[in-house]
């Protein structure tokens, strides 16, 4: 009997310590979220500004299908500019596949690049990108002022430029979606207007 009581007390103490440790860890994560600046796509100088109507283009993808870029497509469109030689683009592909699944209800993803088509066809085969429309068009890149890769452009359902920027990580890519949802066009604008907040778990 005394052993059972002692073990019950020990278990409650263990649970109490566990709860306090969990609370401390969650608090630390909250503090870190507040201290670390949010990761966002870096918006570069570009011919189109956020909110501008995007040029409507009809291009032919590598697989021969027709791809309409811009215009009132009824669904949002993410143009991801990449290159077979770009190692960061390689590292970003799992995030792009993940985003295609997670955001499929409202978003279509189009991969874009320029240069020799055969190199891109090989790239598509090697990286198993056949699920994405893949267009090769220098004109498309120029229209959006793409200078560095990987670069992403998010066009909203009305065909207007929603957000754009250099995307090196999954966080950068997702920041474009968050920008569309919140109406903040880029990381520069966000950092310019953000106010210091208390940590999520701290008073």
Partner 1 sequence: MGDTSLGSAVQSFAAQMATFQAMLLAASAVHKAVRWTHSRNLMRQFAGVPGVLAGTSLGVATVVELAAGALLIVPAYRTSGAALAAFIWTLYLALIVRAIVEGRRDVDCGCSFGPTSRPLGSFQIVRNLVLTALAVFIAWVSAFGGTVPAQGTFVLGGFALLALYGALDHVMALQPLRSGELI
Closest approach of Cβ 53 to partner 1, in Å?
27
Helix (H, G, I), strand (E, B) or coil at 11: helix
- Cα angle 45, 46, 49; round to 5: 110
Closest approach of Cβ 31 to partner 1, in Å?
11
DSSP lists the bridge partners of residue 165 as: 152
80 contacts: CB under 8 Å, gap ≥ 6: 92, 96, 109, 110, 111, 112, 150, 151, 152, 167
Q: Whose Cβ is closer to partner 1: residue 183's or residue 202's?
A: 202
Closest approach of Cβ 55 to partner 1, in Å?
29
Q: Whose Cβ is closer to partner 1: residue 67's or residue 96's?
A: 96
Closest approach of Cβ 134 to partner 1, in Å?
21
Q: Whose Cβ is closer to partner 1: residue 86's or residue 93's?
A: 93
Q: How long a stretch of residues is the chain?
A: 203
- Residues in contact with partner 1 by CB under 8 A are 1, 4-5, 8-9, 12-13, 15-16, 18-20, 22-23, 26-27, 29-30, 33, 94-95, 98-99, 101-103, 170, 174, 177-178, 197-203
Helix (H, G, I), strand (E, B) or coil at 175: helix
């Amino acid at each position: 009997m005394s052993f059972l009581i002692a073990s019950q007390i020990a278990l409650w103490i263990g649970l109490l310590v566990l709860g306090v440790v969990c609370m401390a860890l969650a608090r630390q994560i909250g503090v870190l979220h507040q201290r670390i600046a949010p990761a966002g796509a870096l918006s570069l100088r570009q011919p189109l500004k956020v909110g501008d109507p995007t040029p409507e283009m009809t291009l032919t993808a590598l697989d021969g299908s027709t791809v309409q870029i811009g215009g009132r497509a009824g669904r949002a469109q993410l143009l991801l500019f990449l290159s077979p030689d770009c190692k960061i683009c390689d590292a970003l592909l799992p995030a792009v596949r993940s985003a295609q699944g997670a955001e499929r209800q409202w978003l279509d993803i189009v991969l874009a690049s320029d240069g020799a088509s055969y190199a891109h066809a090989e790239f598509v085969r090697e990286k198993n990108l056949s699920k994405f429309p893949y267009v090769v068009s220098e004109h498309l890149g120029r229209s959006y002022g793409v200078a560095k890769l990987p670069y992403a452009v998010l066009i909203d359902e009305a065909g207007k430029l929603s957000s754009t920027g250099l995307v090196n990580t999954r966080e950068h890519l997702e920041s474009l979606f968050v920008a569309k949802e919140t109406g903040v066009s880029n990381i520069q604008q966000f950092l310019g207007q953000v106010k210091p907040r208390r940590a999520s778990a701290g008073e």
